[in-house]
Structure 1
Amino acid sequence: MDAELFPRERAGVAPGAVHAPGWLDDEGQRHLLAACRDWARPPAGLRTVRTPGGGTMTARQVCLGWHWYPYAYARTAIDGDGAPVKPFPAWLGELGRRAVADTLGPAAVPSASYDIALINFYDGEARMGMHRDADERADAPVVSLSLGDTCVFRFGNTGTRARPYTDVELRSGDLFVFGGPSRRAYHGVPRVRPGTAPPRLGLRGRLNITLRVSGL
Protein backbone atom coordinates (compact mmCIF):
# COMPACT_ATOMS: atom_id res chain seq x y z
CA MET A 1 0.00 0.00 0.00
CA ASP A 2 3.02 2.29 0.34
CA ALA A 3 3.62 2.40 -3.40
CA GLU A 4 0.57 3.03 -5.56
CA LEU A 5 0.20 4.02 -9.17
CA PHE A 6 -2.27 6.75 -8.24
CA PRO A 7 -1.97 8.38 -4.80
CA ARG A 8 -5.17 8.54 -2.82
CA GLU A 9 -6.75 11.98 -3.02
CA ARG A 10 -8.67 13.94 -0.42
CA ALA A 11 -12.39 13.65 -1.12
CA GLY A 12 -15.65 15.27 -0.09
CA VAL A 13 -17.93 12.30 0.61
CA ALA A 14 -21.04 14.36 1.44
CA PRO A 15 -21.73 18.01 2.31
CA GLY A 16 -19.66 18.64 5.44
CA ALA A 17 -17.93 15.24 5.29
CA VAL A 18 -14.30 14.94 4.15
CA HIS A 19 -11.88 12.00 3.90
CA ALA A 20 -8.20 12.98 4.16
CA PRO A 21 -5.96 9.96 3.42
CA GLY A 22 -2.64 9.71 5.23
CA TRP A 23 -3.31 12.77 7.38
CA LEU A 24 -1.22 11.42 10.27
CA ASP A 25 2.40 10.70 9.40
CA ASP A 26 4.32 7.75 10.87
CA GLU A 27 5.48 9.70 13.90
CA GLY A 28 1.97 10.98 14.59
CA GLN A 29 0.56 7.46 14.32
CA ARG A 30 3.13 6.02 16.70
CA HIS A 31 2.50 8.79 19.23
CA LEU A 32 -1.26 8.28 19.11
CA LEU A 33 -0.92 4.50 19.35
CA ALA A 34 1.30 4.76 22.45
CA ALA A 35 -1.30 7.04 24.07
CA CYS A 36 -4.13 4.62 23.21
CA ARG A 37 -2.26 1.75 24.84
CA ASP A 38 -1.95 3.78 28.03
CA TRP A 39 -5.62 4.78 27.96
CA ALA A 40 -6.71 1.16 27.43
CA ARG A 41 -5.23 0.02 30.73
CA PRO A 42 -7.46 -0.15 33.83
CA PRO A 43 -8.93 1.53 35.74
CA ALA A 44 -11.70 2.71 33.38
CA GLY A 45 -9.88 0.86 30.61
CA LEU A 46 -10.90 -1.04 27.51
CA ARG A 47 -14.29 -2.71 27.96
CA THR A 48 -17.01 -4.59 26.11
CA VAL A 49 -20.06 -2.37 25.57
CA ARG A 50 -23.42 -3.96 26.34
CA THR A 51 -26.60 -2.64 24.75
CA PRO A 52 -29.91 -2.21 26.60
CA GLY A 53 -31.34 -5.18 24.70
CA GLY A 54 -28.71 -7.53 26.12
CA GLY A 55 -26.39 -7.62 23.12
CA THR A 56 -22.73 -6.68 23.01
CA MET A 57 -20.71 -4.56 20.61
CA THR A 58 -17.93 -6.51 18.89
CA ALA A 59 -15.58 -3.51 18.97
CA ARG A 60 -14.25 -2.84 22.47
CA GLN A 61 -14.07 0.71 23.77
CA VAL A 62 -12.38 3.10 26.18
CA CYS A 63 -13.46 6.73 26.75
CA LEU A 64 -11.74 9.97 27.73
CA GLY A 65 -13.33 13.07 29.25
CA TRP A 66 -16.84 11.67 29.37
CA HIS A 67 -17.76 7.98 29.49
CA TRP A 68 -20.25 6.95 26.82
CA TYR A 69 -22.66 4.11 27.45
CA PRO A 70 -25.82 3.33 25.47
CA TYR A 71 -27.16 6.01 25.16
CA ALA A 72 -25.81 8.68 27.51
CA TYR A 73 -22.66 10.07 29.11
CA ALA A 74 -21.31 9.80 32.67
CA ARG A 75 -18.20 10.83 34.58
CA THR A 76 -17.47 7.25 35.65
CA ALA A 77 -17.22 3.95 33.79
CA ILE A 78 -20.77 3.22 34.84
CA ASP A 79 -21.04 0.04 32.77
CA GLY A 80 -17.46 -1.05 33.48
CA ASP A 81 -15.43 -1.00 36.69
CA GLY A 82 -17.08 2.19 37.96
CA ALA A 83 -13.80 4.13 38.05
CA PRO A 84 -13.63 7.81 37.11
CA VAL A 85 -13.21 8.33 33.39
CA LYS A 86 -9.70 9.20 32.26
CA PRO A 87 -9.11 12.91 31.54
CA PHE A 88 -9.24 14.27 28.01
CA PRO A 89 -5.77 15.68 27.14
CA ALA A 90 -5.46 19.18 25.75
CA TRP A 91 -3.12 18.06 22.94
CA LEU A 92 -5.80 15.71 21.63
CA GLY A 93 -8.30 18.55 21.52
CA GLU A 94 -5.83 20.67 19.58
CA LEU A 95 -5.36 17.81 17.14
CA GLY A 96 -9.12 17.73 16.63
CA ARG A 97 -9.33 21.47 16.01
CA ARG A 98 -6.47 21.27 13.51
CA ALA A 99 -8.23 18.41 11.72
CA VAL A 100 -11.42 20.44 11.34
CA ALA A 101 -9.60 23.55 10.15
CA ASP A 102 -7.67 21.52 7.59
CA THR A 103 -10.71 19.72 6.15
CA LEU A 104 -13.75 21.97 6.63
CA GLY A 105 -11.99 25.34 7.00
CA PRO A 106 -11.27 27.63 9.98
CA ALA A 107 -14.88 28.80 10.18
CA ALA A 108 -15.99 25.25 11.04
CA VAL A 109 -13.70 24.97 14.08
CA PRO A 110 -15.99 24.89 17.15
CA SER A 111 -15.77 27.66 19.72
CA ALA A 112 -16.04 25.06 22.49
CA SER A 113 -13.17 22.67 23.15
CA TYR A 114 -13.22 19.01 22.22
CA ASP A 115 -13.79 17.11 25.46
CA ILE A 116 -14.77 13.53 24.51
CA ALA A 117 -12.77 10.74 22.91
CA LEU A 118 -14.28 7.36 22.11
CA ILE A 119 -11.56 4.87 21.22
CA ASN A 120 -12.77 1.65 19.62
CA PHE A 121 -10.58 -1.41 19.08
CA TYR A 122 -11.56 -3.76 16.24
CA ASP A 123 -10.13 -7.23 15.82
CA GLY A 124 -10.59 -9.02 12.51
CA GLU A 125 -14.14 -10.09 13.33
CA ALA A 126 -15.43 -6.82 14.81
CA ARG A 127 -18.08 -4.72 13.12
CA MET A 128 -20.07 -1.56 13.87
CA GLY A 129 -23.70 -1.27 12.79
CA MET A 130 -25.14 1.85 11.23
CA HIS A 131 -25.72 4.48 13.92
CA ARG A 132 -25.70 8.23 14.54
CA ASP A 133 -23.53 10.15 17.01
CA ALA A 134 -26.52 11.82 18.62
CA ASP A 135 -25.94 11.77 22.39
CA GLU A 136 -24.03 15.06 22.47
CA ARG A 137 -25.67 18.44 23.02
CA ALA A 138 -23.26 20.21 20.67
CA ASP A 139 -23.23 20.09 16.87
CA ALA A 140 -19.47 20.45 16.46
CA PRO A 141 -17.90 18.32 13.73
CA VAL A 142 -16.89 14.77 14.64
CA VAL A 143 -13.22 13.95 14.06
CA SER A 144 -12.30 10.32 13.34
CA LEU A 145 -8.72 9.00 13.11
CA SER A 146 -7.73 5.47 12.09
CA LEU A 147 -4.74 3.37 13.14
CA GLY A 148 -3.80 -0.16 12.14
CA ASP A 149 -5.86 -2.41 9.90
CA THR A 150 -7.82 -1.01 6.97
CA CYS A 151 -11.59 -0.96 7.28
CA VAL A 152 -14.60 -0.28 5.10
CA PHE A 153 -16.32 2.78 6.55
CA ARG A 154 -19.91 3.19 5.41
CA PHE A 155 -21.11 6.79 5.47
CA GLY A 156 -24.82 7.25 4.93
CA ASN A 157 -27.53 9.86 5.18
CA THR A 158 -29.33 11.60 8.05
CA GLY A 159 -32.72 10.00 7.53
CA THR A 160 -32.23 6.24 7.43
CA ARG A 161 -29.73 3.44 8.04
CA ALA A 162 -30.34 2.23 4.47
CA ARG A 163 -29.15 3.62 1.16
CA PRO A 164 -27.95 6.00 -0.07
CA TYR A 165 -24.53 5.53 1.48
CA THR A 166 -20.89 5.62 0.38
CA ASP A 167 -18.25 3.04 1.30
CA VAL A 168 -14.85 4.56 2.03
CA GLU A 169 -11.63 2.66 2.64
CA LEU A 170 -9.96 3.97 5.80
CA ARG A 171 -6.32 3.05 6.27
CA SER A 172 -3.88 3.71 9.07
CA GLY A 173 -3.29 7.45 9.41
CA ASP A 174 -6.49 8.44 7.60
CA LEU A 175 -8.73 11.24 8.86
CA PHE A 176 -12.48 11.50 8.38
CA VAL A 177 -14.37 14.60 9.56
CA PHE A 178 -18.13 15.13 9.38
CA GLY A 179 -20.10 18.16 10.49
CA GLY A 180 -22.68 20.65 9.29
CA PRO A 181 -25.46 18.93 7.29
CA SER A 182 -23.72 15.56 7.74
CA ARG A 183 -23.24 15.78 11.52
CA ARG A 184 -26.10 13.38 12.26
CA ALA A 185 -25.52 11.05 9.32
CA TYR A 186 -25.71 7.31 9.92
CA HIS A 187 -22.39 5.52 9.61
CA GLY A 188 -20.81 2.18 10.45
CA VAL A 189 -18.03 -0.31 9.79
CA PRO A 190 -19.25 -3.40 7.90
CA ARG A 191 -15.84 -5.05 7.82
CA VAL A 192 -12.19 -4.86 8.78
CA ARG A 193 -9.39 -6.28 6.64
CA PRO A 194 -7.07 -8.20 9.00
CA GLY A 195 -3.35 -8.07 8.42
CA THR A 196 -3.39 -4.78 6.50
CA ALA A 197 -1.83 -2.59 9.23
CA PRO A 198 1.57 -1.11 8.36
CA PRO A 199 4.17 -3.51 9.84
CA ARG A 200 6.23 -0.58 11.08
CA LEU A 201 3.37 0.52 13.37
CA GLY A 202 3.37 -2.66 15.47
CA LEU A 203 -0.42 -2.97 15.79
CA ARG A 204 -2.63 -5.95 15.02
CA GLY A 205 -6.25 -4.87 14.59
CA ARG A 206 -7.75 -1.43 14.11
CA LEU A 207 -8.05 1.53 16.46
CA ASN A 208 -10.53 4.31 15.74
CA ILE A 209 -10.21 7.51 17.78
CA THR A 210 -13.34 9.64 17.57
CA LEU A 211 -13.33 13.17 19.02
CA ARG A 212 -16.49 15.09 19.92
CA VAL A 213 -17.66 18.22 21.73
CA SER A 214 -20.12 17.19 24.44
CA GLY A 215 -22.00 20.42 25.07
CA LEU A 216 -22.50 19.06 28.61
Structure 2
Amino acid sequence: MMHGLEGLEPVSRETAAGAIASQIRERVKDGTFSPGERLGESSLASQLEVSRGPVREALQRLVQEGLLVYRRNRGVFVVSLDEEDIVDVYLARRAIEREAAKVVIRRGEAEPFDRLEECVEGMLEAAESGEWPRIADCDLCFHEHLVRASQSKRLRKMFDTLLVETRMCLSALEFAYPVHQRLATEHRSILQSMRRGDETKALGLLEAHLRDAMNDLTGKSDREP
Protein backbone atom coordinates (compact mmCIF):
# COMPACT_ATOMS: atom_id res chain seq x y z
CA MET A 1 0.00 0.00 0.00
CA MET A 2 1.44 3.37 -1.05
CA HIS A 3 1.77 6.00 1.63
CA GLY A 4 -0.01 9.25 0.69
CA LEU A 5 3.24 11.23 0.47
CA GLU A 6 5.02 8.78 -1.83
CA GLY A 7 3.16 9.92 -4.93
CA LEU A 8 4.31 13.54 -4.61
CA GLU A 9 7.10 14.82 -6.83
CA PRO A 10 9.54 17.69 -6.21
CA VAL A 11 8.51 21.07 -7.60
CA SER A 12 10.30 24.34 -8.14
CA ARG A 13 10.73 26.36 -4.95
CA GLU A 14 9.15 29.38 -6.60
CA THR A 15 6.18 28.98 -8.92
CA ALA A 16 5.71 31.06 -12.04
CA ALA A 17 3.07 33.12 -10.24
CA GLY A 18 5.46 33.77 -7.36
CA ALA A 19 8.24 34.86 -9.70
CA ILE A 20 5.88 37.17 -11.59
CA ALA A 21 4.55 38.65 -8.34
CA SER A 22 8.13 39.34 -7.20
CA GLN A 23 8.94 41.22 -10.41
CA ILE A 24 5.78 43.32 -10.27
CA ARG A 25 6.28 44.01 -6.56
CA GLU A 26 9.78 45.35 -7.20
CA ARG A 27 8.54 47.61 -9.99
CA VAL A 28 5.81 48.99 -7.78
CA LYS A 29 8.44 49.53 -5.08
CA ASP A 30 10.89 51.39 -7.33
CA GLY A 31 8.18 53.44 -9.06
CA THR A 32 8.44 51.82 -12.50
CA PHE A 33 4.74 51.06 -12.12
CA SER A 34 3.34 54.31 -10.80
CA PRO A 35 0.36 54.80 -8.43
CA GLY A 36 -2.92 54.51 -10.34
CA GLU A 37 -1.36 52.73 -13.34
CA ARG A 38 -3.43 49.93 -14.87
CA LEU A 39 -1.72 46.53 -15.20
CA GLY A 40 -3.23 44.43 -17.96
CA GLU A 41 -3.05 40.64 -17.89
CA SER A 42 -2.55 40.35 -21.65
CA SER A 43 0.28 42.85 -21.91
CA LEU A 44 2.07 41.41 -18.87
CA ALA A 45 1.70 37.84 -20.16
CA SER A 46 3.06 38.88 -23.56
CA GLN A 47 6.04 40.70 -22.06
CA LEU A 48 6.85 37.85 -19.68
CA GLU A 49 6.20 35.19 -22.34
CA VAL A 50 3.83 33.20 -20.15
CA SER A 51 0.14 32.32 -20.21
CA ARG A 52 -2.40 34.59 -18.56
CA GLY A 53 -3.07 32.08 -15.73
CA PRO A 54 0.05 32.70 -13.62
CA VAL A 55 -0.16 36.44 -14.34
CA ARG A 56 -3.73 36.47 -13.01
CA GLU A 57 -2.63 34.56 -9.91
CA ALA A 58 0.29 36.95 -9.35
CA LEU A 59 -1.99 39.97 -9.62
CA GLN A 60 -4.43 38.40 -7.16
CA ARG A 61 -1.60 37.88 -4.65
CA LEU A 62 -0.59 41.52 -4.91
CA VAL A 63 -4.21 42.64 -4.53
CA GLN A 64 -4.31 40.61 -1.29
CA GLU A 65 -1.09 42.30 -0.16
CA GLY A 66 -2.68 45.69 -0.76
CA LEU A 67 -0.21 46.82 -3.43
CA LEU A 68 -2.75 46.52 -6.25
CA VAL A 69 -6.48 47.16 -6.30
CA TYR A 70 -9.14 45.46 -8.42
CA ARG A 71 -11.86 47.68 -9.88
CA ARG A 72 -14.88 45.86 -11.28
CA ASN A 73 -15.14 46.03 -15.07
CA ARG A 74 -11.98 48.15 -15.22
CA GLY A 75 -9.12 45.89 -14.22
CA VAL A 76 -6.21 45.93 -11.76
CA PHE A 77 -4.37 49.10 -10.80
CA VAL A 78 -1.38 50.05 -8.68
CA VAL A 79 -2.74 51.37 -5.42
CA SER A 80 -2.68 55.12 -4.76
CA LEU A 81 -2.15 55.84 -1.09
CA ASP A 82 -4.37 58.57 0.34
CA GLU A 83 -3.89 60.41 3.63
CA GLU A 84 -5.71 57.75 5.63
CA ASP A 85 -3.48 55.03 4.12
CA ILE A 86 -0.30 56.96 4.92
CA VAL A 87 -1.36 57.51 8.53
CA ASP A 88 -2.16 53.80 8.84
CA VAL A 89 1.16 52.71 7.31
CA TYR A 90 3.14 54.84 9.75
CA LEU A 91 1.00 53.75 12.68
CA ALA A 92 1.89 50.13 11.87
CA ARG A 93 5.53 51.01 11.28
CA ARG A 94 5.84 52.71 14.67
CA ALA A 95 4.39 49.65 16.41
CA ILE A 96 6.69 47.21 14.62
CA GLU A 97 9.89 49.25 14.72
CA ARG A 98 9.44 50.21 18.35
CA GLU A 99 9.32 46.55 19.40
CA ALA A 100 12.22 45.64 17.09
CA ALA A 101 14.35 48.46 18.54
CA LYS A 102 13.65 47.28 22.08
CA VAL A 103 14.89 43.80 21.24
CA VAL A 104 18.03 45.07 19.52
CA ILE A 105 18.89 47.50 22.33
CA ARG A 106 18.39 44.92 25.07
CA ARG A 107 20.53 42.35 23.29
CA GLY A 108 23.29 44.91 22.88
CA GLU A 109 25.09 42.97 20.13
CA ALA A 110 27.55 44.97 18.05
CA GLU A 111 26.82 43.52 14.59
CA PRO A 112 23.31 45.01 14.16
CA PHE A 113 24.60 48.43 15.18
CA ASP A 114 27.47 48.16 12.71
CA ARG A 115 25.07 47.33 9.86
CA LEU A 116 22.85 50.26 10.80
CA GLU A 117 25.95 52.47 10.81
CA GLU A 118 26.67 51.43 7.21
CA CYS A 119 23.19 52.61 6.23
CA VAL A 120 23.74 55.95 7.95
CA GLU A 121 27.14 56.42 6.29
CA GLY A 122 25.59 55.70 2.90
CA MET A 123 22.89 58.24 3.64
CA LEU A 124 25.44 60.91 4.56
CA GLU A 125 27.47 60.30 1.39
CA ALA A 126 24.34 60.49 -0.77
CA ALA A 127 23.20 63.65 1.03
CA GLU A 128 26.48 65.39 0.20
CA SER A 129 25.93 64.79 -3.51
CA GLY A 130 22.15 65.35 -3.38
CA GLU A 131 21.28 61.83 -4.58
CA TRP A 132 17.73 61.56 -3.26
CA PRO A 133 16.99 58.04 -4.64
CA ARG A 134 20.06 56.71 -2.84
CA ILE A 135 19.15 58.62 0.33
CA ALA A 136 15.70 57.00 0.23
CA ASP A 137 17.25 53.57 -0.35
CA CYS A 138 19.58 54.00 2.64
CA ASP A 139 16.66 55.23 4.75
CA LEU A 140 14.72 52.04 3.99
CA CYS A 141 17.90 49.99 4.48
CA PHE A 142 18.20 51.34 8.04
CA HIS A 143 14.64 50.50 9.01
CA GLU A 144 14.70 47.11 7.29
CA HIS A 145 17.93 46.11 9.06
CA LEU A 146 16.47 47.31 12.36
CA VAL A 147 13.48 44.99 12.03
CA ARG A 148 15.57 42.09 10.69
CA ALA A 149 17.98 42.44 13.63
CA SER A 150 15.10 41.64 15.99
CA GLN A 151 15.22 38.09 14.53
CA SER A 152 11.43 37.97 14.72
CA LYS A 153 9.98 36.23 11.65
CA ARG A 154 6.57 37.73 12.24
CA LEU A 155 7.78 41.30 12.66
CA ARG A 156 9.76 40.89 9.42
CA LYS A 157 6.78 39.47 7.56
CA MET A 158 4.50 42.31 8.66
CA PHE A 159 7.17 44.85 7.76
CA ASP A 160 7.77 43.62 4.20
CA THR A 161 4.56 45.03 2.70
CA LEU A 162 4.95 48.22 4.72
CA LEU A 163 8.38 48.70 3.14
CA VAL A 164 6.92 48.61 -0.36
CA GLU A 165 4.15 51.02 0.61
CA THR A 166 6.68 53.34 2.24
CA ARG A 167 8.87 53.30 -0.88
CA MET A 168 5.86 54.41 -2.89
CA CYS A 169 5.62 57.52 -0.68
CA LEU A 170 9.28 58.47 -0.37
CA SER A 171 9.60 60.52 -3.54
CA ALA A 172 7.32 63.09 -1.93
CA LEU A 173 9.62 63.38 1.09
CA GLU A 174 12.44 64.82 -1.02
CA PHE A 175 10.79 68.23 -0.82
CA ALA A 176 10.24 67.95 2.93
CA TYR A 177 14.00 67.67 3.46
CA PRO A 178 15.56 70.65 1.63
CA VAL A 179 18.67 69.93 3.73
CA HIS A 180 19.17 66.23 3.04
CA GLN A 181 21.75 65.85 5.80
CA ARG A 182 18.91 66.34 8.28
CA LEU A 183 17.50 62.93 7.44
CA ALA A 184 20.88 61.27 7.93
CA THR A 185 21.37 63.17 11.20
CA GLU A 186 18.04 61.91 12.53
CA HIS A 187 19.04 58.31 11.85
CA ARG A 188 22.49 58.80 13.37
CA SER A 189 20.95 60.17 16.56
CA ILE A 190 18.66 57.15 16.81
CA LEU A 191 21.60 54.80 16.31
CA GLN A 192 23.84 56.56 18.84
CA SER A 193 21.15 56.28 21.51
CA MET A 194 20.70 52.60 20.69
CA ARG A 195 24.44 51.95 20.98
CA ARG A 196 24.48 53.61 24.40
CA GLY A 197 21.60 51.41 25.51
CA ASP A 198 19.45 54.48 26.15
CA GLU A 199 16.15 52.81 25.27
CA THR A 200 13.91 55.70 26.26
CA LYS A 201 15.86 58.22 24.19
CA ALA A 202 16.18 55.92 21.18
CA LEU A 203 12.49 55.04 21.11
CA GLY A 204 11.54 58.69 21.48
CA LEU A 205 13.77 59.70 18.56
CA LEU A 206 12.52 56.83 16.41
CA GLU A 207 8.88 57.69 17.05
CA ALA A 208 9.52 61.39 16.39
CA HIS A 209 11.27 60.56 13.12
CA LEU A 210 8.40 58.39 11.88
CA ARG A 211 5.77 60.84 13.09
CA ASP A 212 7.49 63.75 11.30
CA ALA A 213 7.73 61.72 8.08
CA MET A 214 4.03 60.91 8.28
CA ASN A 215 3.17 64.58 8.87
CA ASP A 216 5.37 65.65 5.96
CA LEU A 217 3.61 63.20 3.65
CA THR A 218 0.15 64.32 4.73
CA GLY A 219 0.99 68.03 4.57
CA LYS A 220 0.78 68.55 8.32
CA SER A 221 4.45 69.23 8.97
CA ASP A 222 5.49 72.27 10.96
CA ARG A 223 9.25 71.61 10.71
CA GLU A 224 11.47 74.52 9.79
CA PRO A 225 13.57 74.40 6.58
TM-score normalised to structure 1 length: 0.26
Which structure ranks higher in relative contact order (CA pairs < 8 Å, sequence separation ≥ 6)?
1
* Structure (1/2) with the larger helix percentage: 2
Please say which structure displays the higher CA radius of gyration: 2
* Structure (1/2) with the larger strand percentage: 1
